[in-house]
Amino acid sequence: MHGPDPRTRHPLGGAPHTVFLNTVITRATIEVGDFTYYHDPDRPEAFEDRNVLYHFDFIGDRLRIGRFCALATGVRFIMNGANHAMGGFSTYPFNIFGGGWEDGFDLASVTDGLRGDTVVGNDVWIGREATVMPGVTIGDGAIVGAKAVVAAPVPPYAVVAGNPARIVRYRFCEDTIETLLDIAWWHWTPEKIARNLDAIRGADLDRLRAAR
């Protein structure tokens, strides 16, 4: 037994409310690792249209989500296309309405303020209706609380909550976090993961370190 097939769209016995995300992603600008799932009673397969917002090809930013992440209902990623020019006296996007208002518009007035790719590490749990802002990096093993608004980087194994999201605590001590990042069990083969599930689910670092 090596766990579920990561190519299965509905891995919970066919229940339609949960999908392995990489089976429903079609955009080249979104990358999702194996076994990462999204739960939503209302069309979870529409994730890239309903949950990844303002993601325009001409902007060029990417959303990258690692392996073994758990995304609860209503998690949303705001991408860089939501940005407005902020260097002048008005942030109103006159140019998009045409009628002559596009004349003289310089796209660089918007793109110069972009924050780059949005990156979610591995084994990250993002709670219900949390919002991740453009260009944020969330580290491996982190937890994002329900309805949090993540506008700044989240360190590995941090627990964040609130608006704006703040670090509530770290899940483990610094030495343990460094060891877990070095072990990086999420990159193991499915066979090795299956052999060592008790160690991964447990809290015995020596046992995890000794896994074969």
**Catalytic site positions:** 84
SS3 119: strand
- Distance (Å) of CA 107 to CA 58, 104, 114, 192: 11, 10, 11, 49
* CB-based burial label for 84 (10 Å; 0-12, 13-18, 19+): exposed
Identify the DSSP state of 47.
H
Phi-psi category of 21—alpha, beta or left, where left has phi over 0 and alpha has psi -120 to 50?
alpha
Tokens of 158: 């941090």
Cβ atoms of 65 and 36 closer than 8 Å: yes
Instruction: Kindly give, in sequence order, each residue whose CB lies less than 8 Å from that of residue 171, ignoring residues fewer than 6 positions away.
Output: 141, 143, 157, 158, 159, 177
| Cα 196 to the center of its chain, rounded Å | 26
